[in-house]
Structure 1
Amino acid sequence: QRGMVLGYQGVERLLAVQWAALKQGLDIMLRLTDVPALQGPLRLALRTVRQVQHSHVEHNCRLLLYAFQSATSHETAFLTIKTLVSYLELGWLVEPELLSALPWKETFRKFLLRPPSGQADFALLLVIFQFLQFLLDVCPGQNVWITEALQTKPYTMLQLIVTADSSHVSDEQEMWKSVSLHLLDLCRVCVKQGSTGGWQVMVQLILQCVEVPHSSSSQNFFNLVYLN
């Protein structure tokens, strides 16, 4: 019976992975860069180790979050978020509490507290808003720190709802509109998943678009559809 089982290559690999995880611990296995030269009948190939490492959702999400934190260019940040979304699409394979325990707050909160300084920052902020909406769908409960950040004085992000300053976005009004609308979408999801308190400032800012005449009122009028 033993010979018949070990005769199937796929079964051998599976048993080798399970044995290594039980004997060494999965955390150690996920950090392996090589395999022991001397092994028993359940030989663990380096290729198999790499396959386990590359397919482990929680492990790769954590690595990608660290990569995003240390990114030195907008291009790297964009690519990291794109890859992160791909792994989160498989989030249903992971226990929710394991995903929720990842450093989402430590990675993205700072972007909700400081204004973008140029078109590249606005483009990245747009992607971050879209990603956070997706994250809220995969990991409910993240709305707590997102809400806290958005409601932190002086309401830096919420001010984007009415700020279409040319010094920030040059002539790219469509980019600003997209950022503003996705910000409002993010706020809406946070309200739906959490408390309705503390959002009065957002409503006041939207009302300001039509109550106080200024050069960008015509650009801001579209925000009124969110008042309901």
Structure 2
Amino acid sequence: MAILFLSSLILSGFTFENSGNHKLSFSANSPLDLFGSVKKTEVKKDAGNPESSDWYSEAVSNIQKAEYNVTFSEDMNAFQSPNRANNMRFIYQKNGFTAMLRNNKVALFDESDKAIEEKNKKYKYLDDWKINFNLEGVSKHLNSTIENNYTDFSGNEFNTGNNQISIENVNLRIQYTNDEKGMRQDFIVKNKPEGDGQLRLNINADTELKMITGADALMFKDDKEI
């Protein structure tokens, strides 16, 4: 059980990123900027090459952004969004989400380089992993026994738009944003819980990976410590 201690009613900035094999970072303050590692399509302008035009560059950019959009998967029977930059996939449930590996076959070459012959293409294969995060309660008491209406979304539906998805009830709104930096989860508490203590979100992380806690982040690793 991971218990987050927060003092504000607008809880913002939890970002989930993959920083290596089986390393999932849960950060509350300073998300890792992965823009520098994202492979972009570089196009040199050439009047005789249609791929050098501004409209083509814009089209490529729009396609790359659309990869992070939230869509409904018939196979999973759930909303999901892939994240190419971090090689992760997120599946959304009403009181939480699942983070998993997007593709266990990782290219060790520049996939945008069409000149590379098939025989020279090398790959590495990663072990699959999965972590289920569920919000169990919102309160101002460490061991609250009061019926928690903050996590009951049984009568509510998701709202989606491009790379965002959210769900809310009368007390709480949970919003997710998926982009190249990672998947960001925001909590907006609309009604204060009873009590005088610090506002607490109780989040359960269910996984076979090892959980390592820090001052403002969680990291998950496998038995090989990778």
Query: Normalising to structure 2: TM-score of the pair?
Result: 0.24
Query: Normalising to structure 1: TM-score of the pair?
Result: 0.24
Whose strand fraction is larger, Structure 1's or Structure 2's?
2
Whose helix fraction is larger, Structure 1's or Structure 2's?
1
| Larger of the two Rg values belongs to structure | 1
Higher relative contact order (CA 8 A, sep 6+): 2
